[in-house]
Structure 1
């Protein structure tokens, strides 16, 4: 039977051998616990971000970015339940369709997140380099159109993960389109931004720059090991090394962790999200400390 290309069992077949089952069982305890934490934090954290950005904050270009990333992460984190069952039982009781669909959701999250980060980087670059043009053309409607296009392209690029039979071609295209090219574009944008901010001392843009920088760094740190091990698996497939197999499982979990980290970055670095969350839970303390918080910020 062909490879499922499943999120956490990239090289296992529908009926793993006894040696595969024992290896998965030995590693699954920690991975199950970690993924339960990712699921709980990801669903609750991104749910809060969706609630805040859609109902509590004024609709703006920035909230469109936040909302879109949160929706992508929320959908993925919701599907981690299937992965937890697989890792806990070393069996996939949900059928071939759901296996393929779960893999599709993972890569939809990967592509949509990185494409949104590319759009955000270009947006930041345009705002710094061409502030007048950005002020006139940087609208909620334009941002919504770009987000819709990013999702459409993400769906198109994620479909081969569920239906294609050429594992090597799909893995390489994922790395190029979902990591390498976006990395080059984002690096160029942020190099231009850093130079512009340094030369013009435009400190006004430093806060959103820091937030988006944290999102981008977190994405690359979480996803780079996965791409490395996938490419290693392509060349190591005849040997099926235990190191590569274990690396795939651990790196896939690290990639999943990215989906629950973003809300915490918003909370610690995004002033609007931070103030909204605190005001709903500890409004009196927030009001009493408002001046001090503003000064320290």
Structure 2
């Protein structure tokens, strides 16, 4: 995760200040009451990491092994894998924020710090695929029935992950480590504000604006199509709508604050730092929320989860019964 203190602020100093003074202002911003806010954010991130990893692991187990492999389960499996990988890397970032020291070297600095951006691209691209898939099913049912296969879905997902990784390359290129104040920092060295602005704009357009336009367009087409149907069942679309709303609500604050950060001299440092903490936490929370949406909205997923857990409990009890029976007999003997 990227915060204000992760950037090389050499190009952003005010005319009457220095880089050292700016760093002091940033680090001092969390003294007193704001320090408790910082700790609260860290606790929330720990909960997101643990709960998100466990929840998405369950989704991977259910959609990957317990449910029939369909195009929908393939899409949701990809989304869960992306969220699970991010939640697995989140504790490293949490430890770095708490200790202000990066002991893992420049390679892991680049990889771990880029997981949030990769998760953003891969998640929103899968949501675009789900929206387009639903739209094509409604508008071209015959063509969709003949061409809509799991194999095709896997092929498109592979291309999606490659595209997500490609768009994450700037995070890898400009992420670096350096010694500062007796510790090692993992920070984004954009060199010039113009580069920083270009990266932020590309993330916003590719990871938010264009997907938003495509998804809204598909949703509008679906809405019109459903109104014309005699059977107006919306159950198949509840999970899709919930996932889309969750993604955009969680990511809007992040993109808003990152745009403010590009022109840091025009805004209050404490405000931007606090906004980044909240925005990044909300963006991370999207990976935590998704599994709950599957359980509470997806009836098939809920039924499969309940049935699988009951089967495992019955199996465990049966195993206990089989192992206890010979022992009881031997006692009687």
- Would the TM-score normalized by the shorter structure come out above 0.5? yes
CA distance in 2, matches of 1:95, 1:250: 27
2:71: which partner in 1?
A: 61
Q: Structure 1 residue 281: deviation in Å?
A: 3.2
Contact persistence 1:24–1:90 (CA under 8 A): no
Task: Call closer, same or farther: CA 1:237–1:102 in 2, change over 3 Å.
Answer: farther
Contact persistence 1:24–1:87 (CA under 8 A): no
Q: Structure 1 residue 21: deviation in Å?
A: 2.9
1:21 to 2:22 alignment: no
CA distance in 2, matches of 1:239, 1:94: 33
CA distance in 1, matches of 2:85, 2:2: 17
Task: Call closer, same or farther: CA 1:136–1:37 in 2, change over 3 Å.
Answer: same
1:287: which partner in 2?
A: none
2:298: which partner in 1?
A: 270
Q: Structure 1 residue 231: deviation in Å?
A: 0.7
Contact persistence 1:42–1:73 (CA under 8 A): yes
1:49 to 2:59 alignment: yes
1:125 to 2:131 alignment: no
User: How many residues of Structure 1 are paired with residues of Structure 2 in the alignment?
Assistant: 278
- TM-score, length basis structure 2: 0.78
TM-align CA RMSD: 2.1
Mapping of residues 166-177 of structure 1, within 5 Å: 166-177=195-206
Q: Structure 1 residue 142: deviation in Å?
A: 0.8
The unaligned stretches of length 5 or more in structure 1 are 1-6, 285-297
Contact persistence 1:28–1:87 (CA under 8 A): no
- TM-score, length basis structure 1: 0.88
1:12: which partner in 2?
A: 6
Contact persistence 2:26–2:273 (CA under 8 A): no
2:103 to 82, 93, 115: 93
Q: Structure 1 residue 202: deviation in Å?
A: 4.2
Q: Deviations over 1:233-290 (max 9, x none)?
A: 1122465621011101110000000001111000011112101221233469xxxxxx
1:200: which partner in 2?
A: 229
Contact persistence 1:31–1:87 (CA under 8 A): no
Moved over 4 A (4+): 13-16, 237-240
1:259 to 2:278 alignment: no
CA distance in 2, matches of 1:243, 1:225: 13
Q: Which has the larger radius of gyration?
A: 2
